[in-house]
Structures are given as C-alpha cells and as structure tokens.
Amino acid sequence: MTLRKPTVSGLFYDANPDGLAKEVDAALAAAKKEVTSSDKTFGAISPHAGYIFSGKVSALAIESL
C-alpha cells in the first residue's frame, strides 16, 4: 500500500499530531456546547478550508449528526 504524506501540514493545521488533536478536540467541545437535541442533522457536507477557517462549521455539523 502506498501512503501519501501530507503536503500542507503546518500551513492550514498544526503539523504536530498532538497539537492537531488538541485543536480538533477543542472545536468539537465548543460545538457540543452549542448543539441542542433538536439540532439533529441527517447528513452533512463539511467544508475543508483549513481548521482555522472552517473548523467551527465542521465541528457543528459533526456534533449535530
């Protein structure tokens, strides 16, 4: 199997795996506080423009599934 290495690591998201995990966990935790039980989503197409640009929207979509 061929494994492709990330080409933009460190540009739009943290290149350090621990830092990246913290960034994603923080976005999901913040979204969890905003999403209510009536905010259920059937599906989502999540943007990916770098977590600093679209992370909040992606986290809200994931938490409302």
Q: Does 24 fall in a domain?
A: no
Residue 32 domain-assigned? no
Q: What is the domain count for the chain?
A: 1
Contacts of 56 (CB under 8 A, 6+ apart): 27, 30, 31
- For residue range 33-64, what is the model confidence (pLDDT) as tens digits? 988 877 777 888 887 778 888 889 899 888 88
Q: For residue 60, give its domain range.
A: 39-65
How confident is the model over 6-30, as a mean pLDDT? 90
Residue 45 lies in a domain: yes
Average pLDDT, the chain: 86
Q: Provide, for the chain, the percentages of residues in helix, strand and coil under a 3-state DSSP scheme, each rounded to the nearest 5.
A: 50, 0, 50
Q: How far apart are CA 27 and CA 21, in angstroms?
A: 10
Looking at the domain assignment, is residue 48 inside a domain? yes
